[in-house]
Chain A
Amino acid sequence: MAIIERPATAGGVEIAPPATPSRAQGGFKRPVSTTGWKSWLFTVDHKKLGIMYGVMAMFFFIVGGIEAVLIRLQLAAPEGKVLSASVYNQMFTMHATTMVFLFVMPMAAAFANYFIPLQIGARDVAFPRMNAFGFWCVLGGGIFINLSWFLGGAADGGWFMYAPNSGPIFSPSHGVDFWTLGLQITGIASLTGAINLIVTVLNMRAPGMSLMKMPVFTWLQLVVQFLLLFAVPVITVALFLLSFQRNFGATFFDVSAGADPLLWQHLFWIFGHPEVYILILPSFGIISEVLPVFAKKPLFGYPFVVFSGAAIGFVGWGVWAHHMFASGLGPVSVAVFSISTMAIAIPTGVKIVNWTLTLWGGKLRFTAAMHFAIGLIVLFTIGGLSGVTHSVAPSDTQQTDTYYIVAHFHYVLFGGAVFGLFSGFYYWWPKMFGKTLNEKLGKANFWMMVIGMNMTFGPMHILGLQGQPRRMYQWTEARAGEGFFNLAFWNQIASIGSIILAVGVLLFIINVVKTARSKELAPLDPWDSRTLEWMTSSPPKEHNFDVIPTVHHLDEFFHRKYQQDPVTHEYKQIATAEEILADQEAHADKHIHMPSPSYWPIVLAATLPIITTGVIYSIPVAIVGGIFLVLAMFGWALEPSTAPETDFDPPAAGESTKELAPLV
């Protein structure tokens, strides 16, 4: 994090050397590094944290991808010998856990962190240190969960960890303990992140930006944060109860002690079903930004997209038991949840219609980002339709725990959530790094992923309807059947598909490396975009905007570039992005006071894995961790988030200052 940005000279911004800050009340002196690893470790800048979230999520995407390929290799041939039955159980559990909690959620958080403040014209989030704390929690929790691989085996009860599989009899290793406690840590991050982003969106919008002038990405992220806010505590309770059972001898889910195993299922899915909307809505938001830009049209029916997003957020709370149709809930519950599940298809369908009509009659530009966005519409619709078949309880009872379910949620989560995130990569890369990802490689990346994903997950519909159970460890020639629908053939197709899919992801990584090495800089506004995040330099300055913009329109940036001719109603360009930026720089705010870097977020987050390790191995360690936790909280609380003005050098006559950390 830069310390002091002196007034912009002709050659750009000069950065003064770090100086010793006053001793913060929190105990440590504040960190001051502007470059190198320390500037990342102690940063509270939402953009740096966004990038850190992204890098971490990408790493776990690769880990989860390797786990997926191993699963497919095991099923590529009859009587697969790649993995043992026990390791296979760990593999599919950790594949799902990694992809859901350590890839899609943090990647969505990466985009949210980076772009929500930019899209609403703010200079940072409401609680910058809490933002940093969230990142370190997810990282700590993610590493903690994966440590179990090396400490006696990972969790093996499936990602929804039903009793009795989660109990000590069927899962004697510490894997489930690592899983439970690690998810508690990432849950803390989700909770603080949700509070932080909701406050940011509600309270820190640029003047004039009413809720209905807010970009759709920000809107849908707002819905996601509310879902997190209310869903996370429910899984917290469930995980606590499971911990008490495994570590302290309680019997909450132990049938032999008279407990009701459905309690876990209810608690898990009251969290779990909003969770799937937590996974998909950020991607819906991303393509709602991408489609209008590359169709050169405003989003069709903006209020419908917004309100259907909010409707999904509400109805998403009333559908959880459709995951439990096979558990004998009774006819009334089944009927109610069946109908509510059918109902939630309506706001989703509204969105599909809006996106399609955004494309209709537009001047389409088929960039890589646009490819992925259209890919999402098509693939998500397929997954959505198979989802509707689950709402029909009699049909669902046949499909439960078969590969048909696996096919369904990979179409919505891979074809939906992941394609949306990739669309976001290609669309926002020039904004985040000042360089455009290679379009040719991007399209190759897209086609490999589309072919790979359809080959992998398409056949799973057939496999499932033919009766191949989910999580099956081996298949044999004798039981594969004959003819067109034999399991052997389609399992092999799926396995080949997964390799193609992996190559597709590899192309993306090659693209990133190639782009990073290239010296070619992206233009300021490469896609002729519509929203505020493009109204600043690329990558944005530390303080985002030289002047906080005053908003008059939905798609404010577009309306600053184009004006409608009153007679012909045609839009004519009146300014370029460069001119708008130059105008901002000329009128830059004289005094910008940014939040200061801090040691406390990483220190506080580091105490949590100590406590959880202690819970598993030795309670005194947990107590020591707890003491450090309380001390860190006091340090944090006593340190002002923004260093006081008196810590700064007064500006020389006629100078403007952009102060980012104390200078004494």
Chain B
Amino acid sequence: MSDVAVHEADHGTHGHTTTTGLSNNKVAMWLFLGSECLLFGGLISTYMLYRGRVSEGPRPGNVFDIPFTSVSSFILLMSSLTMVLAVSAAQNRDDRGTTLWLTVTALLGATFVGGQVYEFTAMYNEGLGFTTSLFGSSFYALTGFHGVHVTVGIIMLMSLVGIIKRSTIPGDKAEVVELIGLYWHFVDVIWIIIFTLVYLIPA
């Protein structure tokens, strides 16, 4: 539902200040991300419980290609940097810079998702399907949910680029960029946790 939370225009902040001084949209985004923590908390707990339960098929250590995933993780982290540059450009009312950095961010995100698709395909070919074992189910559920979040983020970034180009954005442009930035950073931070727990700590 992140699209809704992000794009809801700012009734109530329009023309007069809010009680906290923060805009409604920003408070809403933070609350939404707080809620998302519990969503990933549940999925991570499920994975941690089931990662050693391999009735058949490959074990965690056998399917992970840590150098490959490290590179894609690095790419995702770099997208946070370009996102910051996009927010900064938006705050300077630099539309060209904003669209440029948003596009770069989306491309880096897409590279990460592409890497994930490649990784999933490789794992599937090694015999780890969604229903192969509890490890497989919980691994694909967790990383899949994260991948969907990144994909939604990419769609939002690209929509934002289109909207800024047609300059039909309702509300404060810089703030909308910042809000999607919050979401993007959140998804990155979640990936750091997932990467550490799933890939780096041996089961």
Using CB atoms and an 8 Å cutoff, list the residues of chain A in contact with chain B.
25, 122, 124, 126-130, 133, 188, 191-192, 194-196, 198-200, 202-205, 209, 229-234, 236-238, 240-241, 244, 248-252, 257-260, 263, 267, 270, 593, 595, 604, 630, 633-634, 636-642
* Contact across chains for A633 and B137 when beta carbons are under 8 A apart: no
- B55 interface contact, C-beta 8 A: yes
Measured in the bound complex, the distance between the Cα atoms of B18 and A198 in whole Å is 13
**Are B22's CB and A203's CB within 8 A?**
yes
Determine whether the beta carbon of A124 is less than 8 Å from that of B36: no
Residue in A188, A636, A642 whose CB lies within 8 Å of B11: A642
B64 at interface by CB-CB < 8 Å: no
- Tell me if B38 and A234 are in contact (CB < 8 A): yes
Q: Are A203 and B20 within 8 A (Cβ)?
A: yes
Measured CA separation A639–B137 after assembly (Å): 40
CB of A251 within 8 A of CB of B131, answer yes
Report yes or no: B20 in contact with A130, Cβ–Cβ below 8 A.
no
User: When chains A and B are docked, how far (Å) is the Cα of A297 from the Cα of B175?
Assistant: 46
B8 interfacial by beta-carbon distance below 8 Å: yes
Binds A, one of B42-50, B102-110, B187-195: B42-50
| Residues of B19-66 whose CB lies within 8 A of A | 19-20, 22, 24, 27-28, 31-32, 34-39, 41-43, 46, 49-50, 53, 55
Chain B's interface: helix, strand, loop or mixed, by majority?
helix
| Contact A638 B38, beta carbon cutoff 8 Å | no
Nearest A-chain residue to B160, judged by Cβ: A637
Q: For residue A640, which residue of chain B has the nearest CB?
A: B170
| Residues of the A chain whose Cβ atoms lie less than 8 Å from the Cβ of B15 | 593
Count contacts between A and B, CB distance < 8 Å.
156
Q: Are B131 and A633 in contact (CB-based, < 8 A)?
A: no
Contact A636 B46 (CB under 8 A): no
Chain B: minimal CB distance from A605 (Å): 11
The 10 A-B residue pairs with the shortest CB-CB distance, nearest first, are A237-B42, A637-B7, A641-B9, A233-B39, A203-B18, A640-B170, A233-B38, A250-B137, A249-B131, A126-B24
In the bound complex, CA of A251 to CA of B54 (Å) = 12
Pick the residue among B8, B22, B43, B137 that contacts A127 (CB under 8 A): B8
Q: Are A203 and B131 in contact (CB under 8 A)?
A: no
- Bound CA–CA A124/B31 (angstroms): 19
Q: Taking the nearest CB of chain A, how far is it from the CB of B48, in angstroms?
A: 11
Name the residue on A nearest B16 (C-beta).
Answer: A548
- Complex CA gap A542/B24 in Å reads 22
Whether B18 lies near A204 (C-beta < 8 A) is yes
Residues of A near B9 (CB, < 8 A) are 639-642
Q: Are B42 and A234 in contact (CB under 8 A)?
A: yes
Q: Size range of the interface on B?
A: 35 or more
Partner of B8, one of A130, A237, A250: A130
Specify which chain B residues have a CB less than 8 angstroms from the CB of A129 in the assembled complex: 8
B1 and A188 within 8 A (CB): yes
Residue from B42, B137, B141 having most chain A Cβ neighbours under 10 A? B42
| A195 B49 Cβ-Cβ under 8 A | no
Q: What CA separation (Å) do A155 and B43 show in the bound complex?
A: 25
Closest-by-CB residue of A relative to B6 is: A637
Q: Which residue of B lies closest to A637 (CB)?
A: B7
Interface pair B24/A203, CB less than 8 Å apart: yes
Contact with A along B100-134 (1 / 0, CB 8 A): 00000000000000000000000000000011001
Partner of B131 from the list A126, A195, A229, A248 (CB cut-off 8 Å) is: A248
CA distance A259 to B138 in the complex (A): 11
* Residue among B6, B24, B50 making CB contact with A199, cutoff 8 Å: B24
Pairwise interchain contact A237-B27, C-beta atoms closer than 8 A: no
- Taking the closest CB of chain A, its distance from the CB of B53, in whole angstroms, is 5
- Given known pairs A199-B27, A202-B19, A233-B35, the reply for A124 and B3 (CB within 8 Å) is no
| In-complex Cβ contact of B19 among A205, A237, A238 (8 A) | A205
Q: Measured between alpha carbons, how far is A130 from B8 in the docked complex, in Å? A: 8
CB neighbours of A192 from chain B (8 A): 1, 4-5
Q: How far is the CA of A215 from the CA of B159 in the complex (A)?
A: 42
- Smallest Cβ distance from B54 to chain A, in angstroms? 9
**Are B141's CB and A637's CB within 8 A?**
no
In the bound complex, how far is the Cα of B11 from the Cα of A64, in angstroms?
37
Q: Could you list 22 examples of A-B contacts with CB < 8 Å?
A: A25-B170, A126-B12, A127-B24, A130-B8, A191-B1, A191-B35, A199-B24, A199-B28, A199-B31, A202-B27, A204-B19, A204-B24, A229-B35, A230-B38, A233-B36, A237-B39, A241-B46, A244-B137, A249-B131, A258-B134, A259-B53, A637-B4
B143-176 Cβ-contact flags toward A at 8 Å (1 or 0): 0000000000001000100010000101100000
Q: Is residue B96 contacting chain A, with contact meaning CB distance below 8 A?
A: no
User: Is B170 a contact of A230 with CB atoms below 8 Å?
Assistant: no
Pick from A229, A257, A636: contact of B7, CB under 8 Å = A636
**Chain B residues engaging chain A, CB cutoff 8 angstroms:** 1, 3-15, 18-20, 22, 24, 27-28, 31-32, 34-39, 41-43, 46, 49-50, 53, 55, 130-131, 134, 137-138, 141, 155, 159, 163, 168, 170-171
Nearest CB on B from A657, distance (A): 15
B55 touches which one: A203, A258, A639 (CB < 8 A)? A258
Q: B46 contacts which chain A residues (CB < 8 A)?
A: 237, 241, 252, 263, 267
Give the most central of A205, A270, A633: most B CB within 10 Å: A633
Give the Cβ gap from A580 to chain B, nearest Cβ, in Å.
23
> Would A641 and B35 be within 8 Å (CB), given that A130-B4, A204-B18, A633-B3 are in contact?
no
Residue contact B130 to A229, C-beta cutoff 8 Å: no
Q: How far is the CA of A231 from the CA of B34 in the complex (A)?
A: 11
B4 touches A133 (CB 8 A): yes
A124 to B12, CA, bound (A): 8
What are the residues of chain B within 8 A of A251 when measuring CB–CB?
131, 134, 137
Task: Choose from B5, B34, B163 the contact partner of A230 (Cβ within 8 Å).
Answer: B34
Tell me if A257 and B134 are in contact (CB < 8 A).
yes
Cα–Cα distance between A258 and B133 once the two chains are bound (Å): 9
Chain B residue with Cβ nearest A634: B159
Cα distance, A127 to B39, chains bound together (Å)? 23
- Establish whether residues B12 and A204, one from each chain, have CB atoms under 8 Å apart when the complex forms: yes
From known contacts A127-B8, A641-B8, infer whether A238 and B130 are also in contact, taking CB-CB under 8 Å.
Answer: no
Q: How far is the CA of A44 from the CA of B73 in the complex (A)?
A: 43
Per the bound structure, the CA–CA distance linking A204 and B31 in Å amounts to 16
Q: Are B5 and A595 in contact (CB under 8 A)?
A: no
Task: With a 10 A CB-CB cut-off, give which of B4, B32, B34 has the most chain A CB atoms.
Answer: B4
State A58–B31 Cα separation when bound (angstroms): 30
Closest to A128 in B: B11
Of the candidates A237, A604, A638, A641, which one forms a contact with B10 in the assembled complex, judged by CB atoms under 8 Å apart? A641
Select from chain B the residue with minimum beta-carbon distance to A225: B31
Question: Of the candidates A127, A244, A604, which one forms a contact with B28 in the assembled complex, judged by CB atoms under 8 Å apart?
Answer: A127
Among residues of A, the one whose C-beta sits closest to the C-beta of B163 is: A638
Q: Which of the residues B11, B39, B130 comes within 8 Å of A641, measured between beta carbons? A: B11
From A195, A231, A258, contact of B32 by CB (8 A): A195
CB distance from B203 to the nearest CB of A (A): 15
With A204-B18, A234-B41, A250-B130 given, name 14 new contacts (CB 8 A): A124-B12, A127-B8, A133-B4, A191-B32, A194-B31, A194-B35, A196-B28, A233-B35, A233-B38, A248-B131, A257-B55, A259-B134, A633-B4, A642-B11
State how many angstroms separate the Cβ of A185 from the closest Cβ of chain B: 11
A240 touches B12 (CB 8 A): no
Query: Which residues of the other chain, A, contact B163 by a CB distance below 8 angstroms?
Result: 638
Residues in chain B near residue A25, CB distance under 8 A? 168, 170
A176 to B43, CA, bound (A): 21
| C-alpha spacing A363/B106, complex, angstroms | 66
**In the bound complex, what is the Cα–Cα distance between A259 and B137 (angstroms)?**
11
| Nearest-Cβ distance from residue A89 to partner chain B, whole angstroms | 27
Instruction: Name the residue among A203, A234, A259, A260 with the largest chain B CB count within 10 angstroms.
Output: A203
Closest partner residue, chain A, to B53 (CB atom): A258
